[in-house]
Structure 1
C-alpha cells in the first residue's frame, strides 16, 4: 500500500493511492495536483530521529575524490524541520555556487529496535520512501563532518510522495535510482551498490541507540551530481517506491 499525508481545503488528511488518485478516509478521491503534499510520515509523540548516511556508495565517494569508501558508517543527525513534501519548493540561498540533489532510499522504522541482529533487521522496517537530501557544498567545512548549514536547512530535504509498505518492496537492496533535472537524466544507480546495506545499518545503529517507530534512515546516494539553480525541476525516483518532484526557488 502507498500512503500519503496531504492538505486539502486547509485540513490535513491521511490518504492512500488508488488507481492514480488519492483516496481519503472519507471516501473522497482527488487528483494529485488538487492537494498540498506533506512528508508521508505519521506524527510521533516525540522528536523524530533522522539518521543520514554520507558516502554510502563507493562510486559517489570516488566522485568526491576519496580514495576509498568509509570503513564504518559516516552518519549525521538531521532535524525534522528540514523535511518538506512532494511538489514543494526548496530554497537556494543567494550567492551559493554549488547546491546539488541526493536521491536516497529512506527507511522508516516500523517498531522499536534495540540490539537487533542482522538476520532480523527487515522485521523492524515499516516502509520506504524517497528522500532528496540536498547538499550546499559552499558551506562544507569537513567532508567527514558536514555542518548544519550544509545538511540541516529548512526545505532542503524533500520526502515522498508516498510511504510504501515494506511488504510491497520485497528486495530493497536491488532498486534502481534515477535523478532528472528539467527532464535530463543526471544520476543513476542501484541500491545494491551501497557500502553498508540495510540489515547492517539497522544492526549497527540499534547496537548503541534505540530506534523508534517513525524514525528515518537516509541511506546515501550514488554518483552523479549537478548544480541546481532557481527554477530547476528535480525528480528523484526509486524503483517500486516512487518519483519525488521538487522545484528550486531562489532567495533574496
Structure 2
C-alpha cells in the first residue's frame, strides 16, 4: 500500500492512495501514521480495508511528510561507491552516520529555504527506510521484520557548512526544510528488492542524478542491523541511505542551488518530489 499524510503543516491527516491513484482519507480508522500504527502487522490491517468505502479527498491538497512521530532522522554518508569516487573520497570501512535535525523535515513538495550565508546548497536523492517496530540488536536476517516501508528522501546539504566550517556534518544537513520526505510510505511488500530501484533527480529540468540502489555499499538489511547495535530504532524513525553520483559538489566546476531553482526527484515505485528553492528572509 501507499500511505500518505495530507493537509496543512502540523494538521496533516492520514490517507492512502488507492489502486486508481485516488487519495482516500484514513482518519476514521487511525489517528496518524506514527507509533504502533507503523508496525507492519498494523499496516497490513489497514491495507485490508475496503478502499472504496473510504472518503475520497477532492482537489490537490498539500502532502506532508509521509510519517509522523519521527524521533531520529539518521543519514548514511558516502554509501554509493560511484558517489564516493566523484567526491574524491574512499569507501568507508563502516557506514558513516550523521543526523539530520527533525526540524528539517518537511513535505515532498514544500519550498526549501536556502539558509542565510549559504553559497553551496546541494541536492541528493536518497532511499528512505521507515522503521515500524522498536529494533535493538537485530540481525541482518531479521532486519526487515522491523521495517514499515520505504520512501523518497531529499538530503539537501549546505556543503560549506558541512565540510568547511569544521566539526561534524550535521550542521550542513539540518537547516530548516532540508529534509523533504515522501510523498508516500510504500509498504515493504510492494518493494520486493530495495537494492534494485532506479532513482533520479533534475534541476530546472536537467537530469543531474540517474542512479540505482544497486550501487549502495551497505544495503537496507545491513544498515538496520548495524544501526540497531548502537541505538534503539523506534517506529517512525527514518534512515536516509545515501545518494548516487551527480551531486553539485562533484561537478567540475561545482554547481550549487540558488533561489528560484526547481528540483524534481523520484525513486521507481516510491513517487516523486518537486521543490522550489527560496532565499531565507
2:81 corresponding residue in structure 1: 58
Aligned runs of 1:100-249 on 2, under 5 Å? 100-141=122-163, 146-226=168-248, 227-249=256-278
Asked whether the 8 Å contact 1:8–1:34 carries over to 2, the reply is no
For structure 1, the 5+ residue unaligned runs are none
- Say whether residues 1:16 and 2:23 are aligned partners: no
1:210-238 Cα offsets, whole Å, 9 max, x none, are: 11111111100011013222122211211
1:62 counterpart SS class? helix
Cα drift, residue 10 of structure 1: 9.0
How many equivalent pairs are there?
247
Larger strand proportion of the pair: 1
Cα drift, residue 95 of structure 1: 4.4
Cα drift, residue 145 of structure 1: 5.6
Q: State how far apart, in whole Å, the 2-side matches of 1:149 and 1:208 are.
A: 22
Cα drift, residue 168 of structure 1: 0.6
For structure 2, the 5+ residue unaligned runs are 29-53, 249-255
Q: State how far apart, in whole Å, the 1-side matches of 2:161 and 2:271 are.
A: 30
- Say whether residues 1:36 and 2:62 are aligned partners: yes
Out of 133-142 and 180-189, give the one that drifted further: 133-142
Cα drift, residue 137 of structure 1: 1.0
Asked whether the 8 Å contact 2:68–2:236 carries over to 1, the reply is yes
211 and 184 in structure 1: CA distance in 2 versus 1, 3 angstrom threshold: same
2:67 counterpart SS class? coil
Q: State how far apart, in whole Å, the 2-side matches of 1:166 and 1:143 are.
A: 39
1:13-72 Cα offsets, whole Å, 9 max, x none, are: 1111122221113633235x621221011336xxx1111011111111111111x21110
Q: State how far apart, in whole Å, the 2-side matches of 1:49 and 1:229 are.
A: 29
Cα drift, residue 92 of structure 1: 0.8
Calculate the aligned-residue CA RMSD, in Å: 2.1
Out of 163-172 and 77-86, give the one that drifted further: 77-86
The alignment's TM-score, normalised by the length of structure 2, stands at: 0.82
2:72 corresponding residue in structure 1: 49
Cα drift, residue 143 of structure 1: 10
Asked whether the 8 Å contact 1:105–1:238 carries over to 2, the reply is yes
Q: State how far apart, in whole Å, the 1-side matches of 2:218 and 2:224 are.
A: 10
